[in-house]
A and B are shown apart, each in its own frame.
Chain A
């Protein structure tokens, strides 16, 4: 049984998403994304929410933030701190691998 195959759009690092596209791609409420930007967890290009453009690398970050909030009941400032420490840890581990 040969079925038609679908071509998707790869959301790669060259692609920029506006607020509503970004929210849909990560299954988030736009309000939640706005909060993440306000806390500096996501840093889109552009000044106002209508002009914001997100890189797709932020998708996994937003998802991680969501899980930290839901699973560990961490508030925004705590999420920002946890993500920052995780980034530092990842950088150190990458450096270790390079030596």
Chain B
């Protein structure tokens, strides 16, 4: 396990006051909050910052962490010395997120997972999902293609249950769920009666599945619309050619407009995600220039140079 330098994570000095720690945390939390930040790894950074603050905000935990020694470097192999925390008392209000192994080795699992009660969505943006009454909430990852036709997914869920000996155990179960046609990112599916049977309570709750699209090699989803980059050659543009283009429902032919420029969009109406008013597909044109590899190909470019003596920079006065 790697040693974590919580001071470095929060970018504060080891002598920083509690107020300085708090200010640094608030600033970074705003910066990396997954709802706010556009950074790719915002979620991971946000969690790290949260874990560092969980320790440094609490004078007892901070003192215990400090006495591990000042000589550790972030990333160094680490194992907590035996009885390292003797004499320190922790009265923390465990954080909502699951913390790192490093944190757990120091402050215990209970604190790290106190609120992570139902781990039904290991891939969800915030790790733990919340259970309310006996309802369960989980995310389901589907492919864009699945939104076009109804599909069936097997979903594996983990939920805490009390076993026959009265212990809390994480029970795994799998469910085959039909994903209806036309689902969109963030929509929910309600499965009545498929929540947990409840810890000792009567009626079963509902299971809510939130739809999330798995990233696709070339499609991007925005609501009901789908975007893709469509590479075309200069002569396909100049000669107003028809080219083949993939869509989730199959290959189609599109005609490239004569004066198309890179970055321009072709809208293919109604081919987006199905609905009463179906979405559209937008092909973002990318004009690419094939490399001249052979002498013959080079000669062709030279011929074009002579036959098409346009200067695309004339407007710049050069």
Could you list 8 A-B pairs, sorted by A, with CB under 8 Å? A3-B174, A6-B178, A10-B180, A12-B182, A23-B132, A25-B208, A59-B186, A71-B33
* Interface residues of B, dominant DSSP: mixed
How many whole Å from A81's CB to the nearest CB in chain B? 12
Q: Which chain A residues in 59-99 approach chain B with CB under 8 Å?
A: 59-60, 64, 67-68, 70-73, 82, 86, 94, 97-98
CB of B206 within 8 A of CB of A24, answer yes
Number of A-B contacts (CB under 8 A): 90
A8 close to chain B: CB less than 8 A: yes
Q: Which of chain A's residues have a CB closer than 8 A to the CB of B174? A: 3
B194 close to chain A: CB less than 8 A: yes
* CB-based closest 5 A-B pairs: A8-B189, A5-B176, A27-B132, A8-B191, A11-B188
- Taken together as a complex, chains A and B put the C-alpha atoms of A73 and B46 apart, in Å, by 14
Q: Which of chain A's residues have a CB closer than 8 A to the CB of B186? A: 59-60
CB of B209 within 8 A of CB of A3, answer no
What is B's interface to A at a CB cutoff of 8 Å? 26, 29-30, 33-36, 46, 50, 96, 126, 129-133, 135, 137, 152, 154, 174-178, 180, 182-184, 186-192, 194, 206, 208-209, 222, 227, 265, 276
| With known contacts A10-B189, A59-B188, A71-B46, A24–B176 Cβ distance under 8 A | no
- Taken together as a complex, chains A and B put the C-alpha atoms of A11 and B178 apart, in Å, by 14
A7 close to chain B: CB less than 8 A: yes
CB of A5 within 8 A of CB of B178, answer yes
Q: Which of chain B's residues have a CB closer than 8 A to the CB of A8? A: 177-178, 180, 189-191, 209
Q: Which of chain B's residues have a CB closer than 8 A to the CB of A24? A: 132-133, 135, 206, 208
CB of B190 within 8 A of CB of A25, answer yes
- Taken together as a complex, chains A and B put the C-alpha atoms of A70 and B206 apart, in Å, by 25
CB of B192 within 8 A of CB of A68, answer no
13 extra interface residue pairs, beta carbon distance < 8 Å, beyond A8-B178, A9-B189? A3-B174, A5-B152, A5-B178, A7-B178, A8-B191, A11-B189, A11-B190, A12-B184, A23-B132, A27-B135, A60-B186, A67-B33, A86-B36
- Taken together as a complex, chains A and B put the C-alpha atoms of A82 and B46 apart, in Å, by 18
- Taken together as a complex, chains A and B put the C-alpha atoms of A72 and B191 apart, in Å, by 32
CB of A9 within 8 A of CB of B190, answer yes
Q: Determine which of A3, A29, A56, A68 lies in contact with B35 in the assembled complex, contact meaning CB atoms within 8 Å.
A: A68
Q: Which of chain B's residues have a CB closer than 8 A to the CB of A68? A: 33, 35
Q: Which of chain B's residues have a CB closer than 8 A to the CB of A70? A: 96
Q: Which chain A residues in 1-60 approach chain B with CB under 8 Å?
A: 3-12, 14, 23-25, 27-29, 56, 59-60
CB of B175 within 8 A of CB of A6, answer yes
CB of A56 within 8 A of CB of B190, answer no
CB of B176 within 8 A of CB of A6, answer yes
Q: Which of chain B's residues have a CB closer than 8 A to the CB of A73? A: 26
CB of A4 within 8 A of CB of B35, answer no
- Taken together as a complex, chains A and B put the C-alpha atoms of A67 and B191 apart, in Å, by 25
Q: Which of B26, B29, B33, B184 has the most chain A CB atoms closer than 10 A to its own CB?
A: B33
- Taken together as a complex, chains A and B put the C-alpha atoms of A11 and B26 apart, in Å, by 35
- Taken together as a complex, chains A and B put the C-alpha atoms of A71 and B36 apart, in Å, by 12
How many whole Å from A12's CB to the nearest CB in chain B? 6
CB of B176 within 8 A of CB of A4, answer yes
CB closest chain-B residue, reference A8: B189
CB of A72 within 8 A of CB of B194, answer no
- Taken together as a complex, chains A and B put the C-alpha atoms of A65 and B132 apart, in Å, by 17
Q: Which of chain B's residues have a CB closer than 8 A to the CB of A23? A: 132
- Taken together as a complex, chains A and B put the C-alpha atoms of A3 and B194 apart, in Å, by 15
- Taken together as a complex, chains A and B put the C-alpha atoms of A4 and B191 apart, in Å, by 14
- Taken together as a complex, chains A and B put the C-alpha atoms of A14 and B182 apart, in Å, by 13
Q: Which of chain A's residues have a CB closer than 8 A to the CB of B182? A: 10, 12
Q: Which of chain A's residues have a CB closer than 8 A to the CB of B152? A: 5
CB closest chain-B residue, reference A3: B176
